[in-house]
Copies of this chain bind each other. A is one copy, B any other.
Amino acid sequence: MASEPAETTNLAAGSDALLPSTATSNTRQSRVRKREDAIIAAGRHVFTTHGYARATMAMIAREAGVADGTLYTYFENKDALARGVIADYYARLTATAKQGVDNRRTTRTRLDFLARHHITSIMEERGIIEMLPVLTSSLSDFSEDELYGLNKTYVAVFDTLIRDGRASGDIPGDADVAVLRDIFFGALDYGARSSLLRSSRKGARKADVTRLVDRLVGMIIGGGASTGSLADRLEAVIDRVEIALKKVDN
């Protein structure tokens, strides 16, 4: 946990974002914080493997090494605990995404990184994301929910990337950023799910990811798979005419 390669994509556990992480400190405060971390880590694991409904407070307590009741001094209830887990997840996801993007130069490598980073994280902790609908349903004013804000902050990394890419001329077109966002994250989320279902071997999954990311990035950077030059499109049209004419011959 101490010497983390700065460039890695995965979201190692534990939220040591704040405080100077004095590993030796043993004050009351620090122990409380450690415990909170342990509970969140346990929650992440249990929720990820069992899903919100099947996960029980008892499981989480046991895994965190505390009594059932202790959970309630840290989180008001199961719902709040799950939200805590998600908040921690988003915090790490956003931080590593930002960092990775800042470390690259070109729009293409940045986009490529962000795509891989997202789909990889999703695949590793799919269960976390799947709790979102359960927690937010029956919430008419979702825009006031903290989770909405966390997600917004996260996707802002993408939005900024697109705007910068446009400003520098790397990304053609002027489609609504929201549309590109839907396509980008939607494809990655769906791709993560289907790859996990389809391929059991890790190597196969990696290939799935590469294929999808390459195509997706190409579509966004290239303004469409076949850049849509007039000549290209005319050629496609000519092909169709020829095929149609063939029918006439028969």
The residues of A with any CB-CB pair to B shorter than 8 Å are 50-54, 127, 130, 133-134, 137-138, 142-143, 148, 168-170, 172-173, 175-176, 178-183, 185-191, 194, 197-198, 208, 211-212, 215-216, 218-220, 222-226, 228-245, 247-249
Contact = CB atoms under 8 A, between A and B. Distances in A.
A143 B197 CA distance: 7
Given A127-B137, A187-B183, A226-B173, A168 B233 contact: no
A215 B178 CA distance: 11
B235 A238 contact: no
B183 A215 contact: yes
* Copies of the protein in its oligomer: 2
Given A50-B138, A230-B230, A234-B237, 11 more contacts: A51-B134, A52-B53, A169-B236, A173-B224, A173-B225, A175-B211, A181-B194, A183-B191, A222-B224, A238-B240, A245-B248
A189 B133 CA distance: 13
A44 B135 CA distance: 20
A246 to B, nearest CB: 9
A218 B229 contact: no
A194 B182 contact: yes
A232 B222 contact: yes
A190 B233 CA distance: 29
Contacts of A172: 225-226, 232, 236
Which 9 pairs from chain A and chain B are nearest by CB? A186-B190, A224-B228, A169-B239, A182-B191, A186-B186, A186-B187, A231-B233, A183-B187, A222-B226
